[in-house]
Amino acid sequence: MRYAVIPAAGLGRRFGGKKQFFEINGVPVIEYTLRVFEKSELVHGIVLVLPAKDLEFGEKLKEKFKKIKYVVPGGEERQSSVFKGLKAIENEGVDEVLIHDGVRPLVSQSLVRELVVALSDYEVDGVIPGLKPRDTVKVVGAPLERGDFFVERTLDRDKLVLVQTPQVFMYEVILKCHERAVGEDFWATDDSALLERYGYSVVTIPGEPFNIKITTKEDVKLAEFFLSYSANSL
């Protein structure tokens, strides 16, 4: 059995508000995201993680998205929200879990499928989507007064990947990694970093350029444009 855990409990500080509820063409961002997992025959249940104050909204979403089995309150950090989502399905007999940012509404059915297939083909513990950087990437030093930086060095971009979600994992492995990370007070910006830390295998496959994370207000314009060409807007 395969579940999707959708962390959507952030406060959207860089956006200026809870962007998961921001409406694009009259539909909240989180609904575009949920549509993809609701429609996917590869997903058997969904755990939606929301800010504690918005659980009622989550309960209403259950009427529209029948695969939502749990709506749980998030934590302070993305990582703690995901952990709470994972814990909610501890007794569901889940084998694999897709973890996907609620604010990436442009994820495609084909990416979900490719991740799931790769997890089984490679027989690894996790598979994540990533894009090769197209630009040159620099390491910078201390910030200057105006927010600019001195450049320190250039990275070998052939060894770099810009990582997206969904990330798919063997459920028992990712749950164990989250438990260990909490115990060690180790915090990461994505879930696969926990597998790397504890020596589990992770493979990256090509992500999708349109699969953007809505982080700031500028991203809404991009999302509007991409959604007008996407199956998610149907």
Ligand X SMILES: C[C@](O)(CO)[C@H](O)COP(=O)(O)O
Binding site for ligand CTP (CB under 6 A): 7-15, 20, 49, 74-78, 81, 101-103, 213, 215
Are the C-beta atoms of residues 28 and 35 closer than 8 Å to each other?
Answer: no
Tell whether omega for the bond before 73 is within 30 degrees of 0, i.e. cis: no
Structure-block tokens of residue 7: 């962390």
- Site membership for ligand X, residue 189 (CB under 6 A): yes
**With respect to ligand X, which residue has the nearer C-beta, 108 or 215?**
215
| Identified binder of ligand X from the candidate list 165, 204, 211, 232, rule CB under 6 A | 165
Residue 13 binds which entry of ligand X, ligand CTP, none, with Cβ cut-offs from 5 to 8 Å by kind? ligand CTP
- Number of residues located near ligand X, criterion CB under 6 A: 9
Binding track over 10-49 against ligand X, x by CB under 6 A: ----------------------------------------
Residue 20 binds which entry of ligand CTP, ligand X, none, with Cβ cut-offs from 5 to 8 Å by kind? ligand CTP
Q: Which residues contact 33 (CB under 8 A, 6 or more apart)?
A: 6, 8, 100, 101, 102, 103, 104, 105, 107
Write down the least CB distance from residue 16 to ligand CTP, Å: 9
Q: How far is CA 167 from the centre of its chain?
A: 7
Residues 47-77 as b/e (b if ≥16 CB within 10 A, e otherwise) read bbbbbeebeebbeebeeebebbebbbebbee
Q: Which residue has the tokens 């998205």?
A: 65
Write down the least CB distance from residue 153 to ligand CTP, Å: 27
Q: Which residue has the tokens 């090769």?
A: 132
| Residues lying near ligand X in the complex (CB under 6 A) | 78, 101, 163-165, 189-190, 213, 215
